[in-house]
Structure 1
Amino acid sequence: MPGEPAPRPLRFGANYTPSRGWFHHWLDFDLDEVRADLDSISALGLDHVRVFPLWPVFQPNRTLIRPRAVEQLVALADAAAERGLDVNVDGLQGHLSSFDFLPAWTGTWHRRNLFTDPDVVAAQEEYLRTLAAALADRPNFLGMTVGNEVNQFSDGPHPDPDRITGEQAGRWLERMLAACGKGAPGRLHVHAEYDAAWYRDGHPFTPDQAARLGGATAVHSWVFNGTAQLHGRTGTATEHHAAYLVELSKAWAREAHRPVWLQEVGAPAPSIPPEHAAAFAEATVANALDCPDLWGVTWWCSHDVSRELADFPELEYGLGLLTNDRRVKPAGAAVARIAARWRGREHRPAVRSTALAVDVGGARAAPRRSVCAPGGAFFEAWASLTAQGVRPAVVLAELAEDPAHLSARGITQVLRVPEVIRTHAR
């Protein structure tokens, strides 16, 4: 197809959850333990890790970014390089596995909006720039992710959100990405939201921002969001949820072949019982790999959370590819097989020539984006088509009759939700 990029190798990696002390390991950093963890990840045949500094540990005061913590992050990246692993760094942690990690200078007596307060935003910029600059000369440094699902701080159901408008969210993202680029020019800098950006009406972080800001679109796929509850663990919608988000994101992209990174995907119990995690991983990744322009897959997560640590939601303890004593689990073996199967091969899936048009009430603000959520009319129509073997792409309703847009994406047929519903009803 004219303008189609050269095929690139797929990337397979894991979100690195340290086996000793979880992300609290930054408080008692042990490079030998990190090396052992990275050995176990590398042994799966993976090629990259996404790592998570804890923001309050690295920047405990607004004007103090701890040099020793930054040195430890660089040491982790160098240890990864010794094992053939590239590194992406999430900056603003932020939120991890139900816990919030915010510096004391943003809360209580010093409460300031994370996204709009001038002093807070300037400090965040300097923090992200500093981390990126520290790694800018490392060949295995992929780039920064602004933060892990930071959008959850901007809206409900967070119990104490820093509310902002969509315009303010967009300006904040642009400033954070620019700071990453200033620290490490030319690297793959991205931002990543949980699926409220795609599914929640009125949420200030939008699909438009997700698919147009940064060097790639990052999507996080979790089927405990209602998908598995509605469709069961082996339902088409469940096993294709990651692929759905990949394709949904492309509807908003300006570039026909903008890369999409499946940056988080996991098998959460009890939606996916542990004995079925490997089968779910096989199906989910295979379906995602049927999406053109996929950059890669990064599984959540590398190692289980130790049962010695308290107060995690039950599902968080068993999401690893490896146990927290570094034994390979069935899901880990499944992902390792997939990575080995694709090593050295070009990723060139067939074009998705049939698209389903999505109408969210306007592309930029997407005021009716809940139609895209599990149970929504668009979500269910897409799943129905997929169950019939159609392989649907997604196109914005505004562009459904734009010949140049459709041609650039290889789309030759556009279906509408009502006709899919009518056909399915018959």
Structure 2
Amino acid sequence: MQRPSLRLPGEPGSSPAPWIGANFWSRRGGPLMWRRFDADTVRAELRVLREHGLTFTRSFFYWPDFMPEPNTLDQECCARYEEFLDLHTELGMYTIPTLIVGHMSGENWDPAWRGGRDLYGDVWMVAQQAWFGGQMARRYAAHPAVAGWLVSNEMPIYGGPGAREQVASWAQLIIDAVRAGGGSQPISLGDGAWGLEITGLDNGFRLRDIARLCDFIGPHSYPMGDDPVRQHYTAAWICELSGSFGRPVILEEFGLTSDFASDANGAHYYRQALHNSLLAGATGWGAWNNTDFDGLEDQDPYRHHPFELHFGLTDAAGRPKPQLAELRAFADVLARVDFPRLRRTAADTAMVVSSFLDTEHPFTEPEKDGPHVFDTLRQAYVSARLADLPVALARESDGIGSDAKLYLVPSTKHLLSPTWYQLEDLARGGATVYVSYSAGAHFNQRGPWHAAMNKMFGFEHQLMYGLVDPVSQDEFEFEFVRPFGPLGEGSRLRFRTGGNEHSRAMLPVRPTEAEVLAVDGQGRPALLSRRVGAGAMVFCTYGIEHMAASLPRVNPEPTRDLYEALAEFAGVTRAVTADDPRVAVDVLVHEDGTRYVWFVSQAAEELTVKPVVRDGGKLAEDTVSLPPFGVRVLKLEG
């Protein structure tokens, strides 16, 4: 299956490529910088970014200052913003202005005249926002430093959730105003991509609508987690999900406060987020943010959110922090491989994304089911990446396609009935379909929602109505009784048990047509395969992906080894692999045919791996040494 390609927003030559930059507030004022604007300070702040390979900033029209009255612009703020643009041109940089900025760093600010009016549904209030957007475009769209536009900053926080139709109409009217004002550059919403299709929770900001209205999608990612590897892949997973709507993805905001991470671990996080999101299809990156704000301790929002003082790429004196060095190194890699002309390789593996993530089906519990899908599939994605598997996402809501060799359906309670039959048809045509058990994670109709499960998978389940078969031990083991890919007879995989009272369960089965590949510690079938036509339906009786998703500090874990076996069983193409489960390998291809191999380590210590090149190519190095959480990029010859 074709994975979303690395495409830049806009036409070639219309904007800087690639977008590597920072969200920008001057240390002279933070959100109040336009009242205290100091050109020399801003020039110095921009220069240190430019010297480290950054090409753009995201800038902000702090709304209470720029629009102090209805139908009124503050001319002094506007003049200062134009000077800000001129400084970008002077340094060979670009910026993306953000229009409706009423939320920032833990506080909402209203223009005094808003009077509590609804930002999406009040016609007069929407007209005022559209007027502002049009006026800003008329003033600045022709400036060579303007590379794009954002309608808002995290509007779901400022305006709150809204009805889908109202949110889409609000966005349409402001975008139309920007276009009418001459703003022809790429535009998006600045909403954070926190809606139903990503999180499973509906805030009215639907990516399907945003993809129809906008030129790119811009996730904001600040994960709180309990597993270092999942933490390193969360931004990538969100970019992967966001990229399934036919628009380029800009990782618009990501980063960390130095109050929450040491310098070394902050650098590791940046390195991992940058490279993993690139391999997940991101085409641009905006770090949060350019500088620390020591000296603004008495100013909101820093007064009550003190950790917001230290998200900077530089300290408050302008000295680079390790995160900025990581951006410099990343920019150097992208220049070396001619990033704008790279594309992702096609994927033989498709991960099925249940429509219960992005669609509110009747008489279900979307507030529980959607996040369950997100968390489980994120963990499965991590295991696939560590198995060096290029993976394409197949959203059930859009059709799962028919051109993959391996379909992964990890710990999924719900699919629509037609999808189950389609999966069996795909197996009949030669694909391998892998499904692992899930009863769900709550009481509502707990159990597997599989159409014709017994017939499709060649067994008879032994469930008792309303009950689950709990896994009581803290660990469980699979022993392979037949060879399966690289796992020979007698091979063992040991898993940790996770989940709650609903999901910490297995499915007891009695084989009919299926062949047992592995048994658990009690001799019960753990992995079964039923031949269907030219392909196979493979079923795991334990919800191993969900269990791992529920556990802290679990990765890498044996699902990675099972996926590697599935890949070999299904004949999946993997151009290069590594011999260590802590190292993920992926390949990007230049339009001239040159291939570049990424090696990304999840090890906290230095390690050396021996790559296996599977298609006759050759790497310049027989072994690849990686520093802690390190990344290496090598050319694949031939």
User: Quick one: which amino acid aligns to residue 31 of structure 2?
Assistant: F
Q: Pick the aligned partner of 1:139 from 137, 144, 147.
A: 144
* CA deviations over 1:190-229 (Å, ceiling 9, x no partner): 11223532325232222323443311111111113xxx2x
Q: Give the secondary-structure state (helix, strand or coil) at the position aligned to 1:13.
A: strand
Bigger Rg over Cα: 2
C-alpha deviation, 1:102, in angstroms: 1.4
Residue ranges of structure 1 left out of the alignment (5+ in a row) = 156-162
- Counterparts of 1:189-200 in structure 2, within 5 Å, are 189-194=187-192, 196-197=194-195, 198-199=198-199
C-alpha deviation, 1:362, in angstroms: 7.6
C-alpha deviation, 1:385, in angstroms: 2.8
Q: Pick the aligned partner of 1:61 from 52, 55, 69.
A: 69
Q: How many angstroms apart in 2 are the aligned matches of 1:54 and 1:416?
A: 45
Paired residues, what number?
A: 398
C-alpha deviation, 1:154, in angstroms: 4.2
User: Quick one: which amino acid aligns to residue 44 of structure 2?
Assistant: A
- Mark the CA change 1:4 to 1:207 in structure 2 (over 3 Å): closer, same or farther: closer
Q: Give the secondary-structure state (helix, strand or coil) at the position aligned to 1:192.
A: coil
Q: How many angstroms apart in 1 are the aligned matches of 2:240 and 2:188?
A: 18
Q: How many angstroms apart in 2 are the aligned matches of 1:133 and 1:47?
A: 24
- Counterparts of 1:154-173 in structure 2, within 5 Å, are 154-155=159-160, 164-173=162-171
**Identity %, equivalent residues:** 22
Q: How many angstroms apart in 1 are the aligned matches of 2:72 and 2:60?
A: 19
Q: Give the secondary-structure state (helix, strand or coil) at the position aligned to 2:98.
A: strand
Q: Pick the aligned partner of 2:349 from 324, 348, 354.
A: 354
The answer to whether structure 1 residue 313 and structure 2 residue 305 are counterparts is yes
Q: Tell me what 1:301 maps to.
A: 289
The answer to whether structure 1 residue 393 and structure 2 residue 392 are counterparts is yes
- Mark the CA change 1:283 to 1:399 in structure 2 (over 3 Å): closer, same or farther: same
Q: How many angstroms apart in 2 are the aligned matches of 1:185 and 1:350?
A: 34
Computed over aligned residues only, the root mean square deviation of the Cα atoms, in angstroms, reads: 2.7
- Give yes or no for contact 1:143–1:184 (8 Å, CA) kept in 2: no
Q: Pick the aligned partner of 1:241 from 234, 243, 246.
A: 234
Q: Pick the aligned partner of 2:44 from 29, 36, 40.
A: 36
The answer to whether structure 1 residue 24 and structure 2 residue 32 are counterparts is yes
Q: Tell me what 2:552 maps to.
A: none
Residue ranges of structure 2 left out of the alignment (5+ in a row) = 9-16, 412-434, 438-539, 545-558, 560-638
Q: Tell me what 2:209 maps to.
A: 209
User: Quick one: which amino acid aligns to residue 49 of structure 2?
Assistant: I
Q: Tell me what 2:96 maps to.
A: 88
- Give yes or no for contact 2:409–2:436 (8 Å, CA) kept in 1: yes
The answer to whether structure 1 residue 125 and structure 2 residue 130 are counterparts is yes
- Mark the CA change 1:362 to 1:38 in structure 2 (over 3 Å): closer, same or farther: closer
Q: Give the secondary-structure state (helix, strand or coil) at the position aligned to 1:217.
A: coil
C-alpha deviation, 1:288, in angstroms: 1.1
User: Quick one: which amino acid aligns to residue 315 of structure 1?
Assistant: F
Q: How many angstroms apart in 1 are the aligned matches of 2:396 and 2:5?
A: 25
- Give yes or no for contact 2:118–2:159 (8 Å, CA) kept in 1: no
Q: How many angstroms apart in 2 are the aligned matches of 1:188 and 1:261?
A: 12
Provide the TM-score with structure 2 as the length reference: 0.58
C-alpha deviation, 1:103, in angstroms: 0.6
Q: Tell me what 2:523 maps to.
A: none
Bigger relative CO (Cα 8 Å, ≥ 6 apart): 1
Q: Tell me what 1:219 maps to.
A: 219
Q: Tell me what 1:52 maps to.
A: 60
The answer to whether structure 1 residue 264 and structure 2 residue 269 are counterparts is no
Which one has the bigger helix percentage?
Answer: 1
Q: How many angstroms apart in 2 are the aligned matches of 1:94 and 1:117?
A: 17
* CA deviations over 1:117-148 (Å, ceiling 9, x no partner): 11111110011111122111112211210011
Q: How many angstroms apart in 2 are the aligned matches of 1:31 and 1:415?
A: 54
- Mark the CA change 1:338 to 1:139 in structure 2 (over 3 Å): closer, same or farther: same
Provide the TM-score with structure 1 as the length reference: 0.85
- Give yes or no for contact 2:23–2:58 (8 Å, CA) kept in 1: yes
Q: Tell me what 1:180 maps to.
A: 178
Q: How many angstroms apart in 1 are the aligned matches of 2:191 and 2:25?
A: 19
